[in-house]
Structure 1
Amino acid sequence: MIHHRDYHNREEARSEIFDYIELFYNRQRLHQSLGYQTPIGYEKMKGVA
């Protein structure tokens, strides 16, 4: 159980955990190492994107 969610099978858990990591954790949350910016915001600031 992750974030108070029960999964019916391993594939459902894998898919939702992957989406959480790729779509929220890595892209939207603020990262201390990036000066508390999102990775996308940091790339825009640095002109990388």
Structure 2
Amino acid sequence: MLDAVWGTWTCTGEFGSGVTLKYIANLLIGIHTAATAEALWPSGSASTWTW
């Protein structure tokens, strides 16, 4: 049952090397989110937000 939930396992090397892949994946998600926000923002640029 757990195989159906977790899917495929990938060996990333020594203990702790998976953390590096997690950081890279999170960085790519952040870049993608920022690009999507800029594409969907009505003024054409999300960098003009005022907090």
TM-score by length of 2: 0.41
Bigger fraction of residues in helix: 2
Larger C-alpha radius of gyration, 1 or 2? Answer: 2
TM-score by length of 1: 0.42
Higher relative contact order (CA 8 A, sep 6+): 1
